[in-house]
Amino acid sequence: MSENELSSFANFSGHNNIVYLELKKNKLKSCENISKMARLQELYLNENEITSLSELIGLPALRVLSVNTNKLESLNNLPTLPSLEKFDLGGNPIEKLAEVKKLSGLHCLKHVIF
């Protein structure tokens, strides 16, 4: 579903068995309704307009999260992602090194890209 100019994920429900989702190069501003995908393991939201990850709750199986080239300025309200191993934040306007401390609750994290 990449490069489709999607601006919302609001009507995408009932797909609880999806384990891989790629929504690159759209116009998404938020991550709403993705939290309803409890089996999701890999999520690619590169090159959108996302400003917050706070809506990514209830994703116990998520191992890979790629949100490079969005509009994230901080990691405030970063939800608990207990299985997250790889986190790509490159190309976002995160300027403060203190934001790295907000990753300390991600105990499985092995690979981070800033």
Q: What is the mean pLDDT of residues 93-111?
A: 92
CA distance 109 to 87: 8
CATH of 1-114 given 3.40.50.20, 3.80.10.10, 3.90.580.10, 3.40.50.360: 3.80.10.10
Phi then psi dihedrals of residue 93, to 5 deg: -80, 45
Domain ranges of the chain: 1-114
Beta strands 20-22; 42-44: pairing state: parallel
94's CB contacts (< 8 A; 6+ apart) are 72, 73, 74, 75, 114
The pLDDT tens digits of the residues spanning 42-87 come to: 999 999 999 999 999 889 999 999 999 999 999 998 999 999 999 9
pLDDT digits (tens, 9 = 90+) for 18-54: 999 999 999 999 988 887 788 999 999 999 999 999 9
CA dist 40 and 101 (Å) reads: 25
